[in-house]
Amino acid sequence: MQKKTIKAMMHNFGPGPCVLPQEVFKQASQAVLNFNGTGLSILEISHRAPEFEEVVKEAERLVKELLNVPEGYSVIFLQGGASLQFSMVPINLLADGHTAAYVDSGAWANKALKEAKLIGNVNVLASSKESNYSFIPKDYSIPEDAAYLHLTSNNTIYGTELHNFPKSPIPIVSDMSSDIFSRQINVADFGLIYAGAQKNIGPAGVTLVIVKNDILGKVDRKLSSMLDYKVQIDGGSMYNTPPVFSIYVAMLNLQWLKSKGGVAEIEKENIAKARALYEEIDRNPLFKGTCAIEDRSRMNVCFVMENPELEKPFLKLAESRDIVGLKGHRSVGGFRASMYNALPITSVHVLIDAMQEFAENNV
């Protein structure tokens, strides 16, 4: 019987679920067998067990510490992904007869505003849709009478990122699914932040929400308990059975981030990774970027080839170098190198070496 070849460590540029640190995998795998010496797996332990209640408290504490969350904000872990937040935000914040302001900067921003329109009035302040979302809209005025301003901080499909948030007279709500914990932010500038976990927080299955308490409770509609932020806050993220394993691994990943020096240090690494790859894209005659230079994302680098016929051969070369997850989204084509926190810069240099080798053989 032929033995199976064990793959070497892969260079994972996939857009999500994200690459996670090896030490997190090791800790999580041990907990699957025996969680904290309880004799039970983390997959079977009661979410009401004191041991797991401590996990939720520790995860919440780490979020507050790593992002310097000020007093007056609540941190909760929910289900349904960022997509459910597209509805929860207007349900909780958009009162009847009022209007919410949205900036349409990508596919997920567009989905968010479509869901909000099912709840109430939406004013789309600006959009880059006609340019295939190749830039972040900036030339717009924020209405002072709107309930909130919704922004998407990073657009994974198109490779754009909002590097500077506007000064706003109304609460800012931001979908930070793909760049939260990758850079320093001032949480006090936001009314609500939400993020699916599967980019920089942990595995898919849990969603982080950070909300300023005093923006809640201002709508007259009756809210379903599962969709009511106040109910979820009062329940300590456990109004119903939470995604136990996803929260546990998220806690481990946040502990890893803290051990790395926190968000400030990981931001330096992310800047270095993005700079190295964009420099190669701009230098290499076979490749070119797809979006406005000033809006280039550090998390999701989108690029194409000058000659599209060379894309498949390059992907084949990349795969031979154990580079995976590089194929671009169908809306953009080409390639997308997602470089979340746990991706080491050595993987970026492996990709750069492959690009240079391909150019040497095809120019």
Summarised one tens digit per residue, pLDDT across range 327-349 is 999 999 999 999 999 999 999 99
pLDDT score at 174: 98
Summarised one tens digit per residue, pLDDT across range 197-211 is 999 999 999 999 999
CB 337 within 8 A of CB 277: yes
Summarised one tens digit per residue, pLDDT across range 218-237 is 999 999 999 999 999 999 99
Exactly one of 104, 108, 179, 295 is catalytic; name it. Answer: 108
Cα-based distances in Å from 193 to 207, 208, 212: 11, 8, 9
What is the mean pLDDT of the segment spanning 276-288? 98
Q: What is 262-362's CATH number?
A: 3.90.1150.10
> Does residue 253 have a pLDDT over 60?
yes
Give bridge partners of residue 210 from the DSSP assignment: 75, 193
> Does residue 304 have a pLDDT over 90?
yes
The C-alpha atoms of residue 10 and residue 22 are separated, in whole angstroms, by 12
| Residue 138 C-alpha from the chain's centroid | 21
Summarised one tens digit per residue, pLDDT across range 58-99 is 999 999 999 999 999 999 999 999 999 999 999 999 999 999
Summarised one tens digit per residue, pLDDT across range 89-129 is 999 999 999 999 999 999 999 999 999 999 999 999 999 99
Exactly one of 104, 175, 228, 295 is catalytic; name it. Answer: 175
Proportion of the chain above pLDDT 90, given as a percent: 96
pTM over 0.75: yes
Closest CA to 105 of 154, 168, 149: 154
The C-alpha atoms of residue 321 and residue 309 are separated, in whole angstroms, by 20
The C-alpha atoms of residue 14 and residue 203 are separated, in whole angstroms, by 13
Residue where the block lists tokens 């408290």: 57
Higher pLDDT pick, 2 / 34: 34
pLDDT score at 363: 75
pLDDT score at 5: 54
Annotation says 258 is catalytic:
no
For residue 6, name the pLDDT band (cuts at 50, 70, 90): low
> Any idea where the domains of the chain sit in the sequence?
24-259, 262-362
Closest CA to 111 of 357, 331, 337, 336: 331
Sorted by sequence, the CB contacts under 8 Å of residue 14 that are 6+ apart come out as 324, 325, 338
What is the mean pLDDT of the segment spanning 45-63? 95
Average pLDDT, the chain: 96
> Does residue 1 have a pLDDT over 90?
no
What is the mean pLDDT of the segment spanning 131-141? 96
| Cβ-based neighbour number of residue 308 at 10 Å | 10
pLDDT score at 7: 61
Q: Identify residue 148 by its one-letter amino acid code.
A: Y
The C-alpha atoms of residue 309 and residue 311 are separated, in whole angstroms, by 6
The C-alpha atoms of residue 200 and residue 215 are separated, in whole angstroms, by 27
- Range scoring the smallest mean pLDDT among 8-12, 309-313, 358-362: 8-12
Which CATH number does the domain 24-259 belong to among 3.40.50.300, 3.40.640.10, 3.40.50.1820, 3.60.70.12?
3.40.640.10
Closest CA to 337 of 359, 355, 320: 355
CB 342 within 8 A of CB 335: no
Annotation says 256 is catalytic:
no
Exposure letters 212-226 (e unless 16+ CB within 10 A, then b) = beebbeebeeeeeee
Q: Identify residue 71 by its one-letter amino acid code.
A: E
Exactly one of 104, 179, 199, 212 is catalytic; name it. Answer: 199
Give bridge partners of residue 289 from the DSSP assignment: 303
For residue 18, name the pLDDT band (cuts at 50, 70, 90): confident
pLDDT score at 102: 98
Cα-based distances in Å from 39 to 24, 27, 34, 220, 245: 20, 15, 5, 48, 16
Proportion of the chain above pLDDT 70, given as a percent: 98
